[in-house]
Structure 1
Amino acid sequence: MSGRVTSAEVAARAGVSRSAVSRVFSGASASKATERKVRKAAADLGYRPNVLARSLITGRSRIIGLVVSYLDNQFYPDALERLSEALQAEGYHILVFTAPEAEEPDALVEQMLDYQVDGIIAASVTIGGDLAARCQAAGIPVVLFNRGQDASGLSQVTSANRTGGAEVARFLRAGGHGRIAQITGWLGASTGRDRAEGFRAAAGPLVAEADGMFDRDRAAELAAAMWRDARPDAIFVGNDHMAFGAIDALRSEGAAVGREVSVVGYDDVAAAAWGAYDLTTLRQPARRMAEATVETLLALVEDPDRGAARIEIEGPLVVRGSARVPEGWA
């Protein structure tokens, strides 16, 4: 058979109506017997439904756009997988655009609108106020993932960053540390600010503090300088990606990580459990954050007039060998 197979041919082969074929491939209600016949006929004929044509009829592309930067941070590839899984479970597909950290993502979001996406997830990027308003006017909901933007009126899903930072501080104080330093995440981002402020409020006076800009090399340089100049006995680093650099630098300076100086990160990416780092860290619950993001976004797709949601999800402190464990800590 040559040429594109049509739904009418599938219907004739399966002995059903064209509307039955449409119901099967749109995910609408159809009996199991009908679905089996239609899918067998489609497989025999090599039929593929025209998703673009269907979107013109339904007004839904069933595509969600995702813009993300900072993919060298191991948290984000994992988060992308979780977001994709959660969307696929709801019958949606994901269109990913990556934004260089030094550039505004607004141009990429503009491109997503051209692709007729049903919604947008912005992961660790900031959406300009004018563009946020345009998305809202166009009926395209936007949800921020792992980034807050209070003045935007956009829904956002993050970990409980202030609470997590404070938990790290309590852990270090309970371990008897008296010379505590902090390498923050980028203070221009809500995640960096909130973790730093939560930690600072619970830790008390610090012997050193600097903005690591979520950059591994910068964090390594800062950790080495802190060890030489301030001699901290503990350092909280604003994410695991930077903490790995800090540990490498401290070891290069001759510091015994876990004995002379405790290092605690934030995220609990897979590499945190590797023997080379054995990193104590505050876990970001990526799966729960992804599920909450997708649930929030799809609710807005169905009801654009819903108010913006602000969701914070707490994660546990995962204790490993990079930090002194307080007596009786559970």
Structure 2
Amino acid sequence: MSKVTSAQVAQRAGVSQSAVSRVFTPGASASKRTVEKVRKAADELGYRPNSLARAMVSGKSRIIGLVVAYLENHFYPEALEKLSNALQEQGYHILIFMASSTSGDISDVVEEILDYQVDGIITASVAMSSDLTDRCRKAGVPIVLFNRSQDGPDLSSVASNNVAGGRKIAEFLIAAGHRKIGYIAGWEGASTQRDREAGFRTGLAAAGVSLHSRAVGDFRSDRAAEAARQMFSGDDRPDAVFVCNDHMAFAVMDVLRSDLGLSVPGDVSVVGYDDVPIAGWPAYDLTTVRQPANRMVAETVGLLLAEIDGTGKGPQKIEIDGPLVVRGSARKPEGWSE
């Protein structure tokens, strides 16, 4: 079977071939009557526009490359769905590329993305070296970091206000009477880890409280579980712990209750960060800082598309405040009201 061409659609609809092209080009102008005639003819003939051919002519693929390191954290599948939907509303589609790790070299991944002639790149929780940034800039492909920031003025980034979130958690735990407070860190190289811990320590110090104990979970549930076993197996264990994200916090709670026989929050208050859907399940009922995913996605898409269409104001670093969502995994301060 031969493929149906736009010329055949034009002939059947009684319009010009350029009219067919306008109907199937996002943002192009065509009258309502022309659109109805062309789409009716296309449906009857089984015509589908050739997006790749159109990209070769226009120089725009209408494709955004998205690099993500891992999807085990439930924040990312939800965020990727929101990013995809927001971009589709603007006539773009995403190609997802998996990086080997949050700390690994993503040079090969970026080279592959550029081979697809993408119009822009979003990286989710992976870092960009200055060399990679320069290569993308020379290729005319803008980049926005999502849920990660980097020092230096060259890249736009959108994240929650991690410093403020960490401080809120410290203030909440201290107000609830905790003084032996632990912290389980994410991957040490991540800006999210660095900023959440910095805010947390600042909040503790402001109240004259020192961090009782610290372990590293690397944003992995297995390592977070082992960190919890080490932190809570001794006699001098913390009576509260801030875990750098919800994904690790669930593993920590499982170890505390099932392996060590501790009550949450009776023996230990647990607080996470992200507010993924599972945090609200009765099995965890996790107190956590909510990452404002909808606003983060809107800002990311807005920054990227502005760079693509030439209306951007240059690299911007956007931080969005998120609320502390108080549930049953942590002791509440006396007189606490929602």
Partner of 1:165: 166
- Aligned partners of 1:141 and 1:304 also within 8 Å: no
Distance between the aligned counterparts of 1:176 and 1:70, measured in 2? 36
Distance between the aligned counterparts of 1:33 and 1:233, measured in 2? 69
- In the alignment, does 2:17 pair up with 1:18? yes
Partner of 2:177: 176
- Aligned partners of 2:186 and 2:245 also within 8 Å: yes
Count of aligned positions? 329
- In the alignment, does 2:45 pair up with 1:38? no
- Aligned partners of 1:144 and 1:155 also within 8 Å: yes
Distance between the aligned counterparts of 2:264 and 2:36, measured in 1? 60
Distance between the aligned counterparts of 1:169 and 1:326, measured in 2? 12
Aligned with 1:95: secondary structure?
Answer: strand
Deviation at 1:316, TM superposition (A): 1.0
**What is the TM-score of this pair, normalised by structure 2?**
0.94
Distance between the aligned counterparts of 2:313 and 2:56, measured in 1? 25
Partner of 1:256: 263
How big is each residue's C-alpha offset from its partner over 1:18-45, in whole Å with a ceiling of 9 and x where there is no partner?
1111111002111112111111110000
Distance between the aligned counterparts of 1:100 and 1:111, measured in 2? 14
Partner of 1:235: 241
- Aligned partners of 1:166 and 1:201 also within 8 Å: yes
Distance between the aligned counterparts of 2:232 and 2:264, measured in 1? 11
Structure 2: give runs of 5+ residues left out of the alignment: none
1:1-330 alignment, distance < 5 Å: 2-27=1-26, 28-101=28-101, 103-151=104-152, 153-204=154-205, 205-229=210-234, 230-251=236-257, 252-303=259-310, 306-329=313-336, 330=338
- Aligned partners of 1:64 and 1:117 also within 8 Å: yes
- Aligned partners of 2:64 and 2:119 also within 8 Å: yes
Aligned with 1:121: secondary structure?
Answer: strand
Q: Residues 3 and 262 of structure 1: is their aligned pair in 2 closer, same or farther, counting only changes over 3 Å?
A: same
- Aligned partners of 2:303 and 2:312 also within 8 Å: no
- Aligned partners of 1:63 and 1:92 also within 8 Å: yes
Aligned with 1:151: secondary structure?
Answer: coil
Distance between the aligned counterparts of 2:305 and 2:152, measured in 1? 22
Deviation at 1:103, TM superposition (A): 2.8
Distance between the aligned counterparts of 1:32 and 1:177, measured in 2? 65
The answer to which of 241-250 and 203-212 deviates more is 203-212
Deviation at 1:325, TM superposition (A): 1.2
- Aligned partners of 2:153 and 2:315 also within 8 Å: no
Deviation at 1:152, TM superposition (A): 6.2
The answer to which of 101-110 and 21-30 deviates more is 101-110
The answer to which of 225-234 and 196-205 deviates more is 225-234
- Aligned partners of 1:170 and 1:202 also within 8 Å: yes
Aligned with 1:81: secondary structure?
Answer: helix
Runs of 4+ in 1 over 3 A off after TM superposition: none
Structure 1: give runs of 5+ residues left out of the alignment: none
- Aligned partners of 1:79 and 1:290 also within 8 Å: yes
Instruction: Give the RMSD, CA atoms, in angstroms.
Output: 1.3
Aligned with 2:148: secondary structure?
Answer: coil
Deviation at 1:273, TM superposition (A): 1.0
- The percent identity for this pair of structures is 60
Distance between the aligned counterparts of 2:108 and 2:29, measured in 1? 39
Q: Which amino acid aligns with 2:215?
A: A
